[in-house]
Structure 1
């Protein structure tokens, strides 16, 4: 079985994640290809798409949100993701058990004595009129039935697990700050959520395996679970295994992939890319050594924005109120790398400021 090095896996990730070359594809298609974008920080998906799409116009993503073509909802790993409407409806039922288990894992003590089915019914009743509700408003509507339960626990269980909701605009629009207001997913989209298969099969799980490998492969089954948070996918993997190609990484782990998916050579040039907080190009794997050193792994879960240089995390970045992008290297960079980082940082500053700034500062570079 062919062994793929971390560098080869990194190049494959860049190609699948649209980070090797800017993609010429519609924004909605890019969101679908990536299996959604992590979006608990509302402006970060715009940065993620700017780094991936040629001539990305943020108004296109805002238009998809207001046009109900993409939505913000709890899904993979119980985190807010920006996904297409079709994927939200197709995937939500498959994620129900995981969402419930993860909330219980955090708030089991606070939810002792709460009948979750009754809580879900109460939440759906409160949202039945399609009027947007904040989490506080929903909690006020149910806490009288369970006065001993924690208010935060009730709210999280309602909107992150039991009741499929979306966070509606203006939350998540370009350069807009707005609080979270929730509406039933089915009411917002005018379509019902796809029910689970009744024959014991798992067509959604099998589709997720293929979609994940298209955007993240080659990868292990553990990587797939790290991305999705879902248990039970080994059966889905087994069902589609005959159509997949197999490899091993340098540590002997089995990697699965779509046979005809791109796997560029290790010497394929990889341009500098600025990634947003919690980008799935890093978080989408259990083993992240293909793109980030173990010494810096904590950055990926701490919400640090990072810079890829030669396909690996080599710096962090931030932006201040006057739209100056500041880059802090994690290793010594060559003069050519410094120049490319500065150039890309200036382009990012211009994007974030609507062309009002092209200021980029490189902090702490050695002479």
Structure 2
């Protein structure tokens, strides 16, 4: 079976909930169907959800993340921070986060061993780290439901005020408190979670609260479920797409595919995989749509091979050198430009491809809606692509 680039773009609009008839009612639905929302850039969670909600209200994000706590931030695929439905935390933890946490622990122990403690040269080994984690967790529990920041915990727990030196002797040498690393490790282990932001929805500073221990799932089954969910929303895609997005090894990806009912399909750029029962009927008659998507949006970051939705000549304008996608303008499943918000609140954009008068009108209308929604909220992208910098410069 062959699936064309045009058909893949139609599926993208329907399954990514970007075409108007496919919009979601709740943040939980968005986070589940997208298999998590990128959350490394704090504003991306809000703007990615906004683009897919039938009624995009900031209060809906607040409800899901902080009142009902049905969506939580956690480290998952490729050590990246995602906002995921609480019900799927065990799957993400078993499929990806547990391995990430083990690597993080090994790295932190190595940093501790190679850096002066600043407290008389005491040995900082696995036993020392376990005690620091225990003290941090117990202190955190005392703060109640509102939680505590890394700085507040460090004030309470002396061990967390100790420092580590990264890249000693190099021009980019840095000295950090242990507290931030310990909290991050506790979060990766699923023992604490990020609570409400400090300073509003665009802030990258969080309070932390204790979390219930994740339910244990078998790793292979969890990885198969993760791959199944990716295929349902992003498929068809190649093995390289799956490896890149999940962070799994080649062996793990093929083992997961072997546990699923999948078929090989021919794509314009090679051979890919699709769920055996995926007929694409949900995207048979797509409605035209335009979207302004934020940095690291799932639609931008969903595939390693993006030729079906991105002209290769535009890649270096829309992605930074590390492969992070900046704010993008979309038309009918294709990245056609970039956008930014200037200091005065204006939304500015530039189209890199001319798709006709209907596209130009729809893009302009969507820019006006976004500008009104953002109002005077200052928006700064953590990963600005070259064209984003040019627009704001």
- After TM superposition, the score normalised by the length of structure 2 is 0.75
Contact 1:305–1:317 under 8 Å retained in 2: yes
Distance 1:70 1:108, change over 3 A: same
Cα deviation for residue 351 of structure 1 reads 1.4
1:1-367 pair list within 5 angstroms = 2-21=1-20, 22-67=22-67, 68-94=69-95, 95-101=97-103, 110=111, 115=125, 118-120=128-130, 122-129=132-139, 130=141, 131=143, 132-135=147-150, 141-142=158-159, 152=176, 154=178, 157-161=181-185, 163-164=189-190, 165-171=192-198, 174=201, 177=203, 179-186=205-212, 192-197=213-218, 202-231=220-249, 232-240=252-260, 243-257=261-275, 259-260=277-278, 262=280, 268-298=286-316, 299-300=318-319, 301-353=323-375
Offset at 1:348?
1.0
Query: For structure 1, which segment, 43-52 or 162-171, has the greater mean C-alpha deviation from structure 2 after superposition?
Result: 162-171
Is the partner of 2:42 in helix, strand or coil?
coil
Q: Which residue of 2 aligns with 1:358?
A: none
- My pick for the range that moved more, 176-185 or 322-331, is 176-185
After superposing the two structures, state which structure 1 stretch, 113-122 or 291-300, moved more. Answer: 113-122
Return the alpha-carbon distance in structure 2 between the equivalents of residues 18 and 172 of structure 1: 30
For the residue of structure 2 that corresponds to 1:273, the secondary structure is: strand
Give 5+ residue unaligned stretches, structure 2. Answer: 115-123, 167-173, 378-389
Aligned-residue offset at 1:261: 5.6
**Aligned partners of 1:90 and 1:193 also within 8 Å:** no
Q: Is the 8 A contact 1:220 1:256 kept in 2?
A: no
Q: Is the 8 A contact 1:306 1:315 kept in 2?
A: yes
> Is the Cα–Cα contact under 8 Å of residues 249 and 255 in structure 1 kept in the other structure?
no
Question: How far apart are the structure 1 equivalents of 2:293 and 2:243?
Answer: 22
Gaps of 5+ in 1: 187-191, 356-363
Q: Quick one: distance in 1 between partners of 2:165 and 2:376?
A: 49
Residue aligned with 1:43, SS? helix
**Residues 94 and 222, structure 2, Cα contact 8 Å, conserved in 1:** no
State the superposition RMSD in angstroms: 3.3
Distance in 2, Cα, partners of 1:148 & 1:56: 44
